[in-house]
Amino acid sequence: MTLLLVFLGGIVGAPARYLLDRLVQRLHDSVFPWGTLSVNLSGSFVLGLLFGAHDHLGLPTAMVTLLGTGFCGAFTTFSTFGFETVRLLEEGSVLEAGLNALGSLVLGVLAAAAGFALAALLG
């Protein structure tokens, strides 16, 4: 059952990532990977919210598996983040690469913490 939940969440998460990434990136005329940053930050927030809801609101583990592991796992993308950071460095966009790396890490952790805190407040 767990594998099926992960699979079903991934079926929705992967295309959602692609569509949001393309939409956000189209809105910015910049070498900075705003699309990837957007999906990773929103996915971090949702994952924090899910685990907070599990701990404080009694969200069933099956929902965390479906939405957290399945959807968020397919929605967020560490590999694209890594590749785009390297690409920025290769193009000489050192400042943008540093901002992407540091910003993604710091803001991602803060987004996850905010999601968890919101669920705790609601509980």
pLDDT digits (tens, 9 = 90+) for 15-45: 999 999 999 999 998 999 999 999 999 999 9
Structural domains of the chain, count: 1
The proportion of the chain whose per-residue pLDDT surpasses 70, expressed as a percent, equals 100
Tokens of 100: 């992407």
pLDDT of residue 40: 98
Contact 8, 71 (CB under 8 A): no
Residue 95: CB atoms within 10 A of its CB come to 10
| Amino acid at position 74, single letter | A
Q: Does 76 show up as a binding residue in the annotation? A: yes
pLDDT of residue 81: 97
Residue 12 vs residue 29, higher pLDDT? 12
**Domain range for 64:** 2-122
The proportion of the chain whose per-residue pLDDT surpasses 90, expressed as a percent, equals 98
Indicate the SS3 state at residue 33.
coil
> Quick one: which H or E segment has residue 66?
none
